[in-house]
């Protein structure tokens, strides 16, 4: 049994659920993580690729690196963890996915209410005027000529949050609010070390939500969690779904 009977009852009866996800979820779709052993930031220097200053110095290099990331993410497919989370969207009155991932695999699996704390590689913004565009369309037009140019004369940049930048205020505010009101928060595939995003989990814990951690190894979050389940998200979430069995109908 993954949950005690009391914990199972709290999850089945929850009105408001938040699922906070990190790179460990997408790793099972073949996408590399950024931190930790073997992560991208062990092989690449983030200050050379993921800061506003790096973009100012060498926008073509930054774009080529992100174009490779985009192609990898476009080719990836949602895994069983994404699919289980999407299916749970129809089982609770409110289920919000708060993600640190920029790959949109949650949306492609069918999740509808997704808050992207770190932005997404699927979109781009003009660094001068703020105009938005789809990355796929920009790359198709730009071809080998990077960075893509905006009609205003500025340069488009990936719509991700770089080191030294603030998280989108409205997204962070809603994430924190959802965490404060959650009956249950599941933290899946995240080390919970990136702030202020990791504060979302602390808000849920402080509000006495049931906090469930699903991770390949213990993390800083394990001390906050009421339940710490060790293993791959693509195995544990479907097993948890099966353990919960038939869910009661709601009025």
Catalytic residues: 118
**Helix %, strand %, coil % for the chain, to 5?**
40, 20, 40
- Close Cβ partners of 105 (under 8 Å, ≥ 6 residues apart): 25, 26, 29, 73, 76, 77, 78, 79, 82
Neighbours of 194 (CB within 10 A): 16
The residues with which 42 forms a beta bridge, in sequence order, are none
Structure tokens at 39: 């992560």
- Under a CB-based contact definition with an 8 Å cutoff, are residues 91 and 14 in contact? no
Structure tokens at 192: 């919970």
Residue 59 CA to residue 120 CA, distance in Å, equals 18
Helix, strand or coil for residue 53?
helix
The residues with which 214 forms a beta bridge, in sequence order, are 188, 229
CB burial of residue 77 (10 Å; 0-12, 13-18, 19+): exposed
């Amino acid at each position: 049994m993954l949950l005690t009977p009391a914990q199972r009852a709290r999850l089945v009866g929850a009105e408001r659920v938040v699922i906070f996800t990190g790179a460990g979820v997408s790793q099972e779709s073949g996408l590399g993580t950024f931190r930790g052993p073997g992560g991208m930031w062990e092989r690449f220097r983030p200050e050379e690729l993921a800061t506003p200053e790096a973009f100012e110095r060498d926008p073509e290099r930054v774009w080529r690196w992100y174009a490779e990331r985009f192609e990898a993410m476009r080719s990836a497919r949602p895994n069983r963890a994404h699919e289980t989370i999407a299916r749970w969207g129809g089982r609770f009155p409110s289920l919000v996915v708060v993600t640190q991932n920029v790959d949109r695999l949650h949306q492609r699996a069918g999740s509808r209410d997704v808050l992207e704390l770190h932005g997404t590689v699927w979109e781009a913004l003009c660094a001068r005027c703020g105009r938005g565009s789809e990355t796929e369309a920009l790359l198709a037009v730009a071809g080998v000529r990077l960075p893509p140019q905006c009609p205003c004369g500025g340069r488009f940049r990936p719509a991700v949050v770089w080191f030294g930048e603030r998280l989108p205020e409205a997204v962070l505010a809603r994430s924190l609010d959802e965490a404060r009101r959650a009956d249950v928060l599941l933290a899946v595939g995240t080390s919970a070390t990136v702030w202020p995003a990791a504060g979302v989990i602390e808000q849920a814990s402080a509000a006495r939500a049931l906090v469930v951690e699903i991770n390949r190894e213990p993390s800083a979050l394990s001390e906050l969690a009421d339940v710490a389940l060790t293993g791959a998200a693509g195995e544990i979430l479907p097993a948890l779904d099966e353990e919960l069995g038939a869910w009661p109908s709601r009025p």
